[in-house]
Structure 1
Amino acid sequence: MLRYLDKLSATLAIDLGTETVRVWEKGKGLIGEYPSYLAIDTQSKRILAHGKDAYDMRGRVAANVTLLRPFQKAQLWDRKVAQAFLKVVLRDALKKSLLSPTILFSIPASLKPAIEAETVEMGYSLGAREVFTVVQPLAAAIGAGMPVADSSGGFIMQLGAGIYEAGVISLGTLVTSEHSFEAGDDFEQAMQNFLQQKYQVTISHETAKMLIHKLATLHDGHPGSVLITGKDEKTTAPKELQINTEHVRDFIEERAQVMVQLVKKLLSKVPAELTGDVVDKGLLLAGGGALLTGLDSYLVPKLGIPVSIVDDPERAVVRGMGTILDHLDEFKRSLGYRGEQ
């Protein structure tokens, strides 16, 4: 009877990304990608929009509407906002399912145990019958096709919007890791600050994101140029600026140094037994930050080890979670699990 119910209920992986929440259903694959935004009417407390609809409202909302981000930083998750957001996401995902789902959440490796427990409790309060957690570097390694069950060590860096995490994987577990909160979101904020200080112009989050996408490169000899419109700091009038690759080159390299220092810090902690494996196999890059042009070749001489980018790095975590769902019994000892309290 239980096996029959298992077949009727959904088994979901939910990657709790700072920028995007992704949902994978066992047997179906990726079924939803939702920008991590929730629009709420502060007077009525009513949810007005979520996901892309809420994201598109940025900078265009009335005074009584606020945009909230449920998964901003590992230590700053807002339980009520996160639960409201996931309730809407699950409603989308479970349209045809009448039974309680099994849910696998991805979480940062650096997440405090109390917040991990709260995340699990949130899953049960949303109606799950079983809740598991997996740390994002391990999920990304599985999604990249790394043979994580091997005794030899594997080395991966997950470059997300809210957190960068580098970790060593061996025997199906995360052996050790390091993290930095100077991540993708801070990259965009830093671009806004950079232009404000250097050119006395204020630009939107979307413009900063576009500039990074079009001009951010660590390759020499790849010129690019973008015309942007911002607000003049002195006159408050609209101001146009032609920004090229060289204008932001030093800024981009400064941000890349965050990754270099993170990896070096982790390398200093790698157990002697795994050092040779890490050096031989090199570093895999996953997450949206891995899409920075030239990052892999930039890191090689800085770190002295091979560096490569995984396929479709933004979805490495949720892809790995999908693999876990397909082999849940085999992976259970690598996962966090708590029964309903």
Structure 2
Amino acid sequence: LLQAPVQSTLLRVPVQTLSDPGEAWLIQDLNAPTSFPHVVEIAGAPVHPEHNVWHGSRHQREDAQWQQCATKMTRFGLRLVDGHGVDIHGSTLQQGGLELELTLQSITGETLSDAHNPRPHEALLAGSGKGAFETKVKLMESRHLYRCHVMLLSSHIGGALIRVHVAPTRPDLAAKPNLCFTSRPFLSRARDPGPASARAAGKRKAAEDAEAVGEHLESPEYQDLSAFGDGEPLYRSAGGCGGCGDDDDDDDDAGPRYASACDEAETEAEAEAEAPPPASARIQSVEARIRLQGLLDALESQQPLPSGPQLVEALRMCRIAA
């Protein structure tokens, strides 16, 4: 008597029946996190999504070429819906879940294999961290998110475009186009063209700047530093000492007339040293005055004190008894 209500309840549980495959559709899930395509090239210019999200229909234009990069993860989601756009479970189409397989196809419809990738020990697709990627999944419910790297490049197959194709593994279900998803053709490349385009733009800018400088050099307003003559200004260099013009053997007329600020200070110091001392000075010898001034400068710059013989020699030059 106690088991009768339980059995009655179990008998009233509805059994989920299989849906008609002709009324189910496998479509792209636009609400899933998507990075497909990575780049869209329009009129030769690469266009990137804003914050990894494509807004508007610019990337859907007929003249827009989709591009995927092997260094970046490709993400896209698929949904299984009925004729009214309502989600249905894959288990209603196939016992244990709708088994789907992802493959790559050439633009001619040829299914590509790992043999098309010339790199040894590398498959067409790679998973997270460039590890192995499982191409087959069982869709128990209604949605699935694919995450992979497209390792096969268009350059490996003569520059041809590639498609992503997802279809059931069961032949009778794979024969129904509504249960198959085929992406838009895209160009598979190794890296994002963004940085390369920025470098190319930088090179173009540098070339334009160089051309502008060349035009300025040829203009009459420009005067070369070496173009001097009588009555023309003397150009001065603010550079450090020891620059051009240190060699006494150089011909003054062989190059630009430069006057270093350091050289000018040294010349003024030498002129002051060579000037005759005033009559009231106790030491009239120019050489002795220079020697004493050198000792004083050494003391002020906290250099080692002069030795006894050096001091005696300086005093003798000044004719002062030690």
- TM superposition score normalised by structure 2: 0.24
Larger proportion of helix = 1
The higher-RCO structure (CA 8 Å, 6+ apart) is 1
Larger proportion of strand = 1
Bigger-Rg structure (1/2) = 2
